[in-house]
Amino acid sequence: MKGRGRAIWAAVLSLVLIITMVAGCGGSSSQKDEDVIKLGFLGALTGDVANYGIPAKKGMEMAIQEINEQGGVLGKKLVGIYEDNKGDSAEIGNITQKYITRDKVAALVGDPCTGLTKVAAEIAQSNQVVLFSPGATGAGVVEIGDFIFRNTMLDEVAVPVVVDWMIKENGWTKFAIITSLNNGYSTALTPIFEREIKAQGGTIVIQESINDKETDFSAQITKIKGVDVDVLVFTGYYTEAALIMKEVQKQGLDLPMVGGDGLYGQDLVKLGGDAVEQKVILYCGFAADQPSEQTVKFVENYRKLYNEEPDMFSAQYYDAVMILAEAMKNTNSTDPKVYKDYIANLKDYPGVSGNTTIRENREPIKSPVYLVTVKDGVFPSLVTKIPVNVE
């Protein structure tokens, strides 16, 4: 019995060795990697900013699917690699490193948030891998290095246009501002609004502060109610915006809120209800009901694929993938060191989220600026679009 047992184990070990050798020779991951071009997704699929990441992933997947249906890039299929960074700085750092060292991605697409993008960008730049952010609007992103790009509506570009619209088109000259002190996006955006309001002749009557995750804003709104203001500028995110506007409604104030694309999210409607209806206006680089041919086609295809409306993040991730694919095709290379220069010289790219030009400082100019709101419970609904001088 012992002899038969040893014989059986020897046979089993031989079989295992044969299977291992065959797998190693015929199906290695390195060989498969040569047949595809990998793009690493950066975004949150769970947590507080999943409202950004979930539609972003859908836009990226849709672009990859369409490109592959048309033959791929340089004879290869695009493959998206998707992990959930949960909106966490440590998590996005780990994922970025894995994408680069384990998956050998040709580019990174994301993140929607400025702070998280900066974490990933430092890693991407040090490894000479292109990172293309379709959402980071704050300062200090592309300055990280020449492998870092973005195609979003910048706060520095949008705010002057929006303040001009508020003052000249609406006659709102007296401003209240609320800043979320533990939100880097908000603390960076507030000074831009402050500067432009003062430069364009407006008056900041009162400034209040909150923190993300707070839910009681009665004290701040009571103070604002006690002064004469035309409009409330809130520089934070959609969750707090909805709750602030519910408090505005509760206290009987007829006060519009204006903010940046941090307010962009379906939870604005879910949490705010009729308190945000045509009362919250935000700027962004995309509106589904704009009439351009490429946007109309994108919206139709997105609806068919996902049975829902596209948003700013799905559109901008879609455009980012398309721009990356175009750069690789036109340089005949998937090497970031080669194709990055094509992106750096991009002029008037006709994306579904508007036209994008990359300036000499590698910052994007997008035109037009879209102002959107909630109308009849539908978000986003277009208020107006304002062209931007791209010279």
Find out whether 94 and 116 touch, Cβ atoms under 8 Å: no
- Integer-rounded Cα Rg, in Å, for the chain is 24
What single-letter DSSP state applies at residue 76?
A: B
| 144 assigned to some structural domain | yes
pLDDT at 33: 66
Q: In sequence order, which residues have a C-beta less than 8 Å from that of residue 45 and are 6 or more positions away?
A: 53, 54, 57, 82, 84, 86
Find out whether 110 and 96 touch, Cβ atoms under 8 Å: no
The residue segments making up the domain with residue 318 are 32-152+290-358
Q: Are residues 244 and 300 in the same domain?
A: no
User: Bridge partners of 375?
Assistant: 378
| 26 assigned to some structural domain | no
| 341 assigned to some structural domain | yes
| 367 assigned to some structural domain | no
pLDDT at 367: 80
User: Is residue 9 classed exposed, middle or buried when 0-12, 13-18 and 19+ CB atoms within 10 A define those classes?
Assistant: exposed
Q: Domain with 347 in it: what CATH number?
A: 3.40.50.2300
Pick out the chain residues at pLDDT < 70: 1-33, 291, 390-391
Q: How many domains does the chain have?
A: 2
| 2 assigned to some structural domain | no
Q: Are residues 62 and 137 in the same domain?
A: yes
pLDDT at 22: 36
User: Bridge partners of 366?
Assistant: 356
Q: Are residues 189 and 280 in the same domain?
A: yes
For the record, the structure tokens of 298 come out as 């994108």
Q: Are residues 220 and 198 in the same domain?
A: yes
pLDDT at 355: 87
Give me the sign of the Cα torsion angle 132, 237, 355, 168: negative
Q: Are residues 134 and 244 in the same domain?
A: no
Q: Are residues 123 and 51 in the same domain?
A: yes
Q: How far is CA 344 from its chain centroid?
A: 19
| 10 assigned to some structural domain | no
Q: Are residues 251 and 377 in the same domain?
A: yes
* Alpha-carbon separation of residue 92 from 30, 50, 124, 366 (angstroms): 25, 14, 12, 27
Mapping DSSP to helix (H, G, I), strand (E, B) and coil, where does residue 35 land? coil
Q: Are residues 116 and 186 in the same domain?
A: no
Report the alpha-carbon distance of residue 388 to residue 391 in Å, rounded. 9
Candidates 345, 318, 300, 375; CA nearest to 39 is 318
User: Bridge partners of 369?
Assistant: 386
The Cβ-side half-sphere exposure at 353, using a 13 Å CA radius, reads: 31
Q: Are residues 259 and 377 in the same domain?
A: yes
Q: Are residues 263 and 342 in the same domain?
A: no
Q: Are residues 280 and 255 in the same domain?
A: yes
| 11 assigned to some structural domain | no
For the record, the structure tokens of 94 come out as 């780990």
| 71 assigned to some structural domain | yes
pLDDT at 287: 84
Find out whether 352 and 287 touch, Cβ atoms under 8 Å: no
Q: Are residues 41 and 189 in the same domain?
A: no
pLDDT at 391: 59
- Read off the pLDDT of residues 178-208 as tens digits, 9 standing for 90 and up: 999 999 899 999 999 999 999 999 999 999 9
